[in-house]
Chain A
Amino acid sequence: MRPLTEAETRAVFEKLGKYIGENIQLLVDRPDGTYCFRLHRDRVYYLSEKLLKLAASVPRESLVAPGTCFGKFTKSQKFRLSVTALDFLAPYAKYKVWVKPGSEQSFLYGNHVLKSGLGRITENTAQYQGVVVYSMADVPLGFGVAAKSTQECRKVDPLAIVVFHQADVGEYVRNEDTLT
């Protein structure tokens, strides 16, 4: 376990910024405690200072996961956000997409969201903007990338993809073994 280097921190913040914008400050600088990011086996974890001190005494080979995994660095040093960060990012999400109950299951199985399944979408969403996907009952379902801007979403035909799937809560069941 070690702190992130400058380059790694920049990569992580850029990725997070795509979903929550300048609200990353609220993650870094929290009123209820000191939280920090640490790297363990190429995975980025978000944990409180108290937990960090406890985890520091665990040997590296036996340590499975300190804190919450936000994502991992791939072999070519790209940061990939994982669904386990959803609980932290959902409250601060800037651009949201609501999915109709019919195509909720489809999204939870890993498919993209079509125009026919789109319930609501935040105004001013740009194309390829990071979005958080909600169900109609305001339950966060996962992350995505807007395939079309809000304006285009109105004009496009019903079978076109409007949100690319990035991560969903169904992965907790599907990828049980590989999720940290």
Chain B
Amino acid sequence: MAAVRVEAVLAAAEEQEAEKRRSITVEKELELEFDLGNLLALDRNPPPAAALRGAGPRREALLRALARDNTQLLQFARLKGIRRRKKTSLVWDEQAKEWRRRWGYRRAGGDPSRAWLAEVPAGADPEEDQFARLRREKRERVARNELNRLRNLARAHRAGSTVPAAPLHPTGHQDREELRRVARVARVSTASLGRFQPRLPKEPAEPPSRSGGKKRRFDPLLGNLAAERSRQLELLRDMSSKKPVLDITRAVNKQLRQEEAEAAAANKGKKQSKRGKRGRRQQRPGRSGKKSGARRQQQQQKPAVGG
């Protein structure tokens, strides 16, 4: 009788305890898949995402329900009577009879470096210089703070520069840079690290180097000389195939020579060489002037080509 009652009481107490504490059992539609090799538990249930979107009291209630309340720390604080105090930024300085900062420029307690009295503390060496000690401690404090600040910065920077876990399927809210980054990650995540991946129509042809373009890489000194020669010959062929520039000047010179030949022939026919020349000058006003034929023609041609 007593055993049964004890058991019943214990069971009831357990139930009460379980009710007091939040239940940790969760209902899942699909069973979790376990990968024991990697100690991985895979949950293929769709998340209750619908309720999370958009602000509102419903969302608040949902989140509050999920949050951890009544932690040990909170319990401890309540027990001890510790309450969060809001600190004021300004403090009343009695000596200066005005509101001063809590710390920093013109702080409430006066400039600590101008302290004219430094008591020897109880356990200290009477011969020690207290002012020197205060200065040293301040220097150490500053150095320690600086070190911690730099460490924090480094930690933040390291955390920030790693590729954030962007979703590999496109959401509607990714900007161009993020998409580019994700595309690069996707390209490189093949077995050959993206080396044989065909490029999309508008993707840039040359892939950026692994070192981020910092170190230049040259051909080996004694590499395949025959291949080098053939490459150079091809380069020469390419270079020589696009050379229409000289033709203009050559054509002009040819033209000039022709005209001179004609003029010489004409002069030989008529014995009046001087009048012929003058006559030529008068007939063709464009010919006279200090500029010679080829250059003038070139200048005429050039703006046409350039424009």
Interface string of B13-27 (1 = CB under 8 A from A): 000000000000000
Q: Are B239 and A149 in contact (CB under 8 A)?
A: no
A151-B297 Cα distance, complex, nearest whole Å? 13
Q: Determine how close the nearest CB of chain A comes to the CB of B197; give it in whole angstroms.
A: 24
Interface of B is mostly: helix
Q: Are A2 and B221 in contact (CB under 8 A)?
A: yes
Q: Determine how close the nearest CB of chain A comes to the CB of B246; give it in whole angstroms.
A: 6
Q: A22-B240, A149-B253 are in contact. Are A3 and B294 (CB under 8 A)?
A: no
Q: Are A25 and B236 in contact (CB under 8 A)?
A: yes
Q: Are B232 and A9 in contact (CB under 8 A)?
A: yes
Q: Are A34 and B239 in contact (CB under 8 A)?
A: no
Chain A residues within 8 Å of B292, by CB: 151-152, 155-156
Q: Number of B residues contacting the other chain (C-beta, 8 Å)?
A: 27
Chain B residues within 8 Å of A52, by CB: 221-222
Binds B, one of A10-18, A74-82, A97-105, A165-173: A10-18
A6-B239 Cα distance, complex, nearest whole Å? 12
Q: Determine how close the nearest CB of chain B comes to the CB of A28; give it in whole angstroms.
A: 5
Q: Does B235 contact A (CB under 8 A)?
A: yes
Q: Are B219 and A152 in contact (CB under 8 A)?
A: no
Chain B residues within 8 Å of A9, by CB: 232, 235
Q: Which of A17, A49, A56, A126 has the most CB of B within 10 A?
A: A126
Within 67-93 of B, Cβ neighbours of A (below 8 Å) are at: none
Q: Does A1 contact B (CB under 8 A)?
A: yes
Q: Determine how close the nearest CB of chain A comes to the CB of B249; give it in whole angstroms.
A: 4
A156-B294 Cα distance, complex, nearest whole Å? 13
Report, as a range, how many residues of chain A touch the other chain. Answer: 20 to 34
Chain B residues within 8 Å of A87, by CB: none
Q: Determine how close the nearest CB of chain B comes to the CB of A148; give it in whole angstroms.
A: 8
Q: Does A175 contact B (CB under 8 A)?
A: no
Q: Are A149 and B240 in contact (CB under 8 A)?
A: no
Chain A residues within 8 Å of B222, by CB: 52-53, 56
Q: Determine how close the nearest CB of chain A comes to the CB of B206; give it in whole angstroms.
A: 13
Within 8-56 of A, Cβ neighbours of B (below 8 Å) are at: 9-10, 13-14, 17, 22, 24-25, 28-29, 34, 36, 38, 49, 52-53, 56
Q: Does A62 contact B (CB under 8 A)?
A: no
7 tightest A-B CB contacts, nearest first: A126-B249, A3-B219, A2-B218, A28-B232, A152-B292, A151-B256, A34-B225
By a beta-carbon cutoff of 8 Å, the part of chain B in contact with chain A is 218-223, 225-226, 228-229, 232-233, 235-236, 239-240, 246, 249-250, 253, 256-257, 292-295, 298
18 contacts between A and B (CB under 8 A): A3-B221, A3-B228, A9-B232, A10-B239, A13-B236, A17-B239, A17-B240, A28-B232, A28-B233, A28-B236, A29-B229, A36-B229, A38-B221, A127-B298, A149-B249, A149-B253, A150-B253, A151-B292
